[in-house]
């Protein structure tokens, strides 16, 4: 994978995860998936989570990249963003 493509993938993944989890406890945020052709999947693991003031400082890693996110330190986010959790993103 070229560096530029990996960088674009990382930015797309960061945007999707941030949008999807920005409000971890908001029901109805995501639309149900419609039946369509299989899409590529990017898998990452939460490797570090540290409480910093009102945020969870989380590092997500795959075999090609490592990204850092700040999620609200709510109970709902804490259930989802925990060390060793697996995250999947479908493009």
pTM higher than 0.75 for the full model?
no
Distance, in Å, from the CA atom of 50 to the CA atom of 69, rounded to the nearest integer, reads 11
- Asked whether 40 and 50 are in contact (CB, 8 A), the reply is no
Q: List, for residues 72-88, the tens digit of each pLDDT value.
A: 999 999 998 999 999 88
What pLDDT was estimated at residue 89? Answer: 78
Q: List, for residues 12-57, the tens digit of each pLDDT value.
A: 556 556 555 555 655 555 555 566 677 788 889 999 999 999 999 9
Distance, in Å, from the CA atom of 20 to the CA atom of 26, rounded to the nearest integer, reads 10
Distance, in Å, from the CA atom of 70 to the CA atom of 73, rounded to the nearest integer, reads 9
What pLDDT was estimated at residue 45? Answer: 94
| DSSP conformational letter for 27 | T
For the segment 51-72, the average pLDDT, to the nearest whole number, is 94
């Amino acid at each position: 994978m070229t560096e530029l493509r990996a960088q674009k993938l990382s930015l797309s993944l960061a945007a999707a995860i941030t949008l999807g989890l920005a409000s971890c406890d908001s029901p109805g945020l995501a639309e149900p998936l419609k039946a369509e052709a299989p899409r590529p999947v990017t898998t990452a693991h939460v490797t570090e989570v540290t409480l910093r003031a009102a945020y969870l400082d989380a590092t997500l890693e795959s075999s090609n990249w490592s990204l850092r996110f700040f999620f609200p330190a709510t109970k709902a986010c804490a259930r989802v963003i925990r060390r060793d959790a697996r995250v999947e993103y479908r493009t």
